[in-house]
Amino acid sequence: MGEHIMCIITKFAAELAKGYVSVRGVKGTMEDAVNLVQGVGNVGKKLFGSNGEENESDEYDEYESDEAETNSFDEKTWNELRDGIESLKEEGNYAGALKMLHDYYCQEDLDYFYFYLKADILLAKYDDLGRSPESDFSCKTEIDKAIEACDKYGLEADDDELELMTYELQDKFESTIAKVSYWRKMRSLQDEIDALRDPEHVVTTSKVNDVLKALELVDNFWKEDSTAEDGSVYNIDFLYLFKARIYNAFFFYLAENKKELDALPDEQLSEFFVGATDCADKVLACCECDDKTDEEFLNRRIPEQIEELKQLRCGKKTSKHSSSSVSVTSEEQEYLEEIRACLDNDGEITSRERRLLDRLRKSLGITEARAKELEASVNNMSDDEKEYQEELKACLEDGTISDRERRLLDRLRKSLGISEERAKAIEDRLLKQ
């Protein structure tokens, strides 16, 4: 934008000789000439200023300020505006950036640069993956309007440089749309594979098929959406990260379900090991992020899991939950400590504690599937005990357990192989909550 603006400044200097003095006077002309050399603020204001027509005031009502006054468009003020807008954009405060821009212009003398900066702010907003997808339509509409206004002012000024800036702005808009669409697809992919790799649930017909489907989804995405026309693959670090997470969760599942492990054909299990080993090697080597915590963990943990599964396959015993108790990151250790603190009281995690743990999980960058693995490693309740507990909860909804419910619970307890003492401890824990 700098080179383009300097060209505009040069052209504007020529305009000073064309009747400009008669409008501004000698003193005013000299002041504007000084400002012109110092910064671009006056360029937009004087070259593309108001002609007395309405300036779509309704569009800017949300940014109105009762204290707004006509600003002095000197270099200092202009630089403060640009720095302030950039700072607010970095914070994700796009409404604040728009308000700052609007207050600077005070709803008067809207020019090319006003709409250029507005479009730039809105493009940053649209590019922000943290925003709600529901805002897409309104945001894109606003950007379109701002670019149209830039085009209008550029044509009226009959300035090639302004037209070029507008074309570049439009190109940026189109590339941003494509970029947002790409990352949206990747986010959706991540949600799908997180569900498929969850050790607690089978989505298809078996956990093995869940894993195969998850791996297929990843491969298809990178083939269809992450491969350039020249055959090069981009964001390949995410490819291996996604696959490594799938293998990590699957191996955890197999360690906890030896029947599933034993049912796997040797050839298929060997293929899983080969694929996982390849990902463990590449997930760290291809990582382009400064923070490689997750990649380092997977690079270290997957080989450990493979050895544990080989031992289990041969009939050797390993410690329960070893697949999640070994080689945890510092972030995961922090999360484990908070889980233990929640369980120390009554052995259960309340809904309020669950919300706080989930917030902590997100801040530490731990996936839902991994969080479940970690919680399982410290939760001493068996699946049968959890089933019994859920039935107890249902019976206690009205505060009491009827004689009939008690008989049914006792029958369930016996069928699940739970002792009377253990059943009483579970019930006492629930009653304390």
Q: Rounded to 10 degrees, what is the CA torsion of 270, 271, 277, 278? A: 150
Q: How many residues does the chain have?
A: 433
SS3 233: strand
* Distance separating alpha carbons of residues 299 and 120, to the nearest angstrom: 40
**Structural domain boundaries in the chain:** 2-178, 198-324, 328-380, 383-432
- What share of the chain has pLDDT > 90, as a percent? 24
70-85 pLDDT tens trace? 444 577 887 888 899 9
Q: Rounded to 10 degrees, what is the CA torsion of 156, 162, 167, 173? A: -100
Quick check: 385 and 422 in contact, CB under 8 A?
Answer: yes
* Distance separating alpha carbons of residues 57 and 355, to the nearest angstrom: 44
Q: Supply 127's token pair.
A: 């590019």
Which long-range CB contacts under 8 A does 164-168 form with residues at least 24 apart? 164/4, 165/1, 165/4, 165/116
Answer yes or no: is pLDDT of 178 > 60.
Answer: yes
Which helix (DSSP H) or strand (DSSP E) does residue 326 occupy? Answer: none
Weakest-pLDDT range from 134-143, 258-267, 295-304, 360-369: 360-369
218-268 pLDDT tens trace? 999 999 888 887 888 888 889 999 999 999 999 988 988 888 999 999 999
Name the average pLDDT for the chain.
76
Weakest-pLDDT range from 138-152, 291-305, 380-394: 380-394
Using 50, 70 and 90 to split pLDDT, how confident is the model at 332? confident
Mean pLDDT of 31-49: 40
List % helix, strand, coil for the chain (3-state, nearest 5). 75, 0, 25
Residue 196 exposure: Cα atoms within 13 Å on the Cβ side: 24
Q: Rounded to 10 degrees, what is the CA torsion of 28, 31, 35, 40? A: 10
Residue that the structure tokens 């249902």 belong to: 394
